Structure 1
Amino acid sequence: MEIKNGKLILDDEKAQDEKPKNSSKIYFFILAIVALLATNAYYAIRYKNLGKQVEVLNSEKSQLEIEIDRIEAELNRVTGENLELAAEFQEEHDSARALIAELRSQLDADPNISQDDLLKTQQEIRRLRSLVEQYSTDLESLKDENRELSAERDNLQNSISSITERVGELEAENSGLEEMVKSASVLKVSSMNITPQRANDNEQSDAETRARRTDKFRIHFTIANNPLAATGTHTIYYRITEPSGNLLTDGSIFEVNNEEIQYTEAGIIDFQNDGKQHSIEWEPQDYKFQKGTYTVILYTTESILGRAAIVLK
């Protein structure tokens, strides 16, 4: 029992007064425990969600890395298939390579990359994909242009070949025509005769028939009219063979169609395509004419003009 404020308080009454105070303390501890449990649960859930977020971010980061690898592989494939063409788009190729290196550097720089950084990287990857697609499209367009140019070149070469072949044919035809004209334009003798004479006889003297009385030959010939032949002076070469068949020559040579031939002597005539008769006189020194047949052949540098023979007794 206890006296308080001049009153006597029994033990039962004291116990009844302390009971409410103890209950309050119990409630406080219970509330504190509940609050602690709630806090622990909150942080447990929060850390659990944070772990899931980190896992999701890492997964997205891996996917982005895979996508970069895929785009780079496509870039390598397109470049490898078009090595010759790729040089013309080197700037686009280098830009794509630089962006790939930059994105990989960004992903490797921070192992705990944030969501915002991932979003930015995704945007850059989309830009990279667009850049590689444009690069591929440009290469294909250039390849198509090259195919068209190759086809045009082949067609042009075929045309050139056809034209060249036709030009060759025309040149052959022209060459043939030139040969025909050349052949048709040569001088030809329409008549020719040989007059043996003594040294002191003039042109109107009678012809000799005996070898011992002959000192010279007068060769008369008329050239046939030919409108294709060139008028003016022409050199006439003549070859005289004696009855034994020997050519009378001092070794002088001229060319007929690029062939060298020895001749006896040469003279010059003025051809005007007028049917005029021409004459050449051959009077050898210290030569004794023989009995038998002498043959005279006239030439120009293009062909034989004509031939004639005379018999001396």
Structure 2
Amino acid sequence: MSPKNRIKPNGFKYLIATLVILIVVYSFKLNSDYKKLEDAFSEQKIELQAELDEIIEDYKNINVKNKDLSQRLVKEINKIIVLRDSIKNLEKSNYNLIVKYSRKIVKLERENRRLFIQVDSLNKQNYELLQENIVVKNELEEKNASQKTLSKKNRSLLKERKVLKAKVGIAEVIKVNSISATAMKERSSGKLTTTSRSRRTDAFKIKFNLEANPVTTPGKKEILIQILDENGEIIASKGDKKVKSGETIVYSDNLFANYDNNQLGVVSLILVNRDDISKGVYRINTYVDGHFTGRTEVKLR
């Protein structure tokens, strides 16, 4: 080897020293970069987990009454919890998975926005429906209150009407005055004359006046006359009829009068069998249009 190509011992030492220094520097740099990368990895893991925890909390705070949407929320929460736990257990060497999970989180956030918009829309609809229900409920309550008030007024009016009807009914009754009853006997000539003897009585003559009444309806009025002996037995029964009191009476005569709201005289002649007439007091009752209107008596000896 020529002297020119030979490396000087001192120069070789410097070369070795320089290489060692370079290797140390490079190793230190590699170690420093690795440490930074490792710290960044740990920091990114923590951030991703924190972000997923926030998303989970957001889901849990959603109050949804819709059954299908609520089930979907539960499904999404479980999916996010699995992803968070996967990141938590991620090894330091799996740097590429951090990027993958970051993309997943971005996708989740997009889905969250869509889902939350849907939830907000449903909540808004529910709120509007609730407000409508409140309005309808208030309207129903007002109507019910109004109905109760009207029912109360109606009951009051019906009661007043009933009282008024009763008063009008009383006012419509045609009263009878100047009622009198006379026993009559028939002479051989066929003429009837008065008598006070029971064994000669062939008829009873009843006279009375229908008083004027401008309230009652004019027209044909039915009149019933009842003759009773001291035992309450009907004399000369002609039939029976139900009157306004609800009682069914047996009458001795019935006739009709054309009433024009003015005073009207009425005469009834009721023929009897002498054999049925005995001594005593006979009571005569009158009914006009089904109402009891008067009473008189005649005594026979």
Q: Same fold (TM over 0.5)?
A: yes
CA distance in 1, matches of 2:190, 2:30: 151
Sequence identity, in percent? 19
RMSD of Structure 2 on Structure 1 (CA): 3.6
Gaps of 5+ in 1: 5-13, 80-85
| 1:226 equivalent in alignment to 2:216 | no
Q: Are positions 1:23 and 2:8 aligned together?
A: no
Aligned residue in 2 for 1:308 = 296
- Matching residue's letter, 1:63: A
- The one-letter code of the counterpart of 1:181 is V
The aligned counterpart of 1:290 is 278
Equivalence for 1:248:
234
Map 1:61-210; keep pairs closer than 5 Å.
61-75=48-62, 78-79=63-64, 86=65, 90=66, 94-95=68-69, 97-98=71-72, 101-102=75-76, 104-105=78-79, 108=82, 111=87, 112-114=97-99, 115-198=102-185, 205-210=192-197
CA distance in 1, matches of 2:188, 2:46: 133
Distance 1:206 1:63 in 2: 130
Contact 1:100 1:128 (C-alpha < 8 Å) held by counterparts: no
Cα distance in structure 1, aligned partners of 2:76 and 2:225: 98
Query: Structure 2 unaligned runs (5+)?
Result: 88-96
Deviation of 1:21 (Å): 7.9
**1:52 matched residue in structure 2:** 39
In structure 2, how many angstroms separate the alpha carbons of the residues matched to 1:299 and 1:203? 30
Do the aligned partners of 1:232 and 1:272 also contact (CA within 8 Å) in 2? yes
1:146 partner letter: N
Taking structure 2 as the reference length, the TM-score comes to 0.75
Task: List per-residue Cα deviations over 1:252-295 (Å, max 9, x = no partner).
Answer: 65333453243233413133224332333322447432223211
Cα distance, 1:43 vs structure 2: 4.0
Q: Distance in 1 between matches of 2:234 and 2:125?
A: 87
Letter in 1 for 2:164: L
TM-score, normalised on structure 1? 0.73
CA distance in 2, matches of 1:202, 1:68: 129
Render the CA deviation track for 1:286-311: whole Å, top value 9, x for unaligned. 74322232110012464212122222
Question: Which stretch shows the higher mean deviation, 281-290 or 249-258?
Answer: 249-258
CA contact (8 A) 1:256 1:300 kept: no
Deviation at 1:65, TM superposition (A): 3.3
- 1:184: Cα distance to partner? 0.8
Match of 1:214 among 201, 208, 216: 201
- Give the letter for the 1:116 counterpart: R
Q: 2:223, 2:257 within 8 Å by CA — same for their partners in 1?
A: no
The count of corresponding residues between Structure 1 and Structure 2 is: 286
Q: Distance in 1 between matches of 2:73 and 2:219?
A: 88
What's the CA shift for 1:216? 1.6
Q: Residues 228-264 of structure 1: CA distance to partner in whole angstroms, max 9, x if unpaired?
A: 223333333333221x242316696533345324323
Which whole-Å CA distance do the structure 2 matches of 1:206 and 1:199 have between them?
7
The letter for the 2-side match of 1:98 is: R
| Structure 1 residues 36 and 19: CA distance shift in structure 2, 3 A | closer
Q: How many angstroms apart in 2 are the aligned matches of 1:153 and 1:47? A: 74
Tell me how far apart the structure 2 counterparts of residues 71 and 280 of structure 1 sit (CA, whole Å). Answer: 104
From 268, 273, 281, the equivalent of 2:269 is: 281
How far apart in 1 are the matches of 2:188 and 2:121?
107
In the aligned structure 2, how far is the partner of 1:119 from the partner of 1:213?
A: 130
- Which residue type is aligned with residue 151 of structure 2? T
One-letter amino acid of the structure 2 residue matched with residue 262 of structure 1: I
Give the Cα–Cα distance (whole angstroms) in 2 for the partners of residues 68 and 202 of structure 1.
129
- When residues 106 and 264 of structure 1 are mapped into structure 2, their CA distance, relative to the original with a 3 A threshold, is closer
Distance 1:161 1:303 in 2: 39
Of structures 1 and 2, the larger Rg is shown by 1
The secondary structure found in structure 1 opposite 2:193 is: coil
